Structure 1
Amino acid sequence: MTEPVRLQPGDAAPEFSLLTDSGEKLTLSSLRGRKVVLYAYPAAMTPGCTKQACDFRDNIASLRSAGYEVIGISPDSPTRLAKFRERDQLTFPLVSDEDRGVLTSYGAYGEKQLYGKTVTGVIRSTFVIDEQGRIERAMYNVKATGHVAKLRRELGLD
């Protein structure tokens, strides 16, 4: 099994320019000066991804008050992301990486174990990016349930 690239604290966060759920371009460089939580998830409107997105939604006020912007990234189309955002009243941008290039550059796309089988897909991951665009934390193979609470603890928000 080929291991994808794994980002480490201190690495420069790979730049991206992707379409959001509202059809606008979002670039990482436009967020310089702010802390960013970029989380990668496999597919909009699936049970685990919905649970995770709603966890971020329910914690967005405390994350923002601590200076963090939250962005979700998946290979879904902007149209599907718009439906997801509307259906679950998500209050942060979702970006579309249909060719999986950005996910790959973050080490969040590649071979993984799913129900005992090796498959290629999105590796559920979360990246905390500092104000200078460097990786502060890179968490791979995170759980959909309970991850936001764990992240809040690690960031000292609880």
Structure 2
Amino acid sequence: MGGMFRFPREATRRRRPDPAVGSLLAGAMAGGIRDIYGHTVTYVPEDLVYVERLFTDLRTDDGFVGDEFTLQSLGCLIGEILVRTDGGRWSSAAPRRGVPEDAGLAVVLPNGRTVNPIRAAYDRADHGSDSSVIRFRQVALAS
């Protein structure tokens, strides 16, 4: 397993996470983006350009080299932008069995939609730029 940290799946399976975890993981990834690119994340839609760039930089011929912690933190950064900029709120959701990318966190938007930004991060890692996180936000906010 590549990446910076090991993130055991069992930790996300035992109980529903506190929704505050989304903000904490987003903050950790914001620090990483600052360290790597010199960009200070302010949780605005333009920050998603750096999220996309990180996905591109972590992709090799063999696929995405980040680990689960990295992916879940990137997903939480996407979610935190939906919270701070678009009026969403973090919510805990029952994780689905056998679905490693389901950390039990979701964002409920003012339009009533519940979206899974962590799933969006996994999709971006698995499918490349065809699953843009910028597009994910646009679709999530569409009425």
TM-score after normalising by structure 1: 0.30
1 or 2, which has the higher helix percentage? 2
TM-score of the pair, normalised by structure 2: 0.32
Q: Which is richer in strand?
A: 1
| More relative contact order, 1 or 2 (CA 8 Å, 6+ apart) | 1
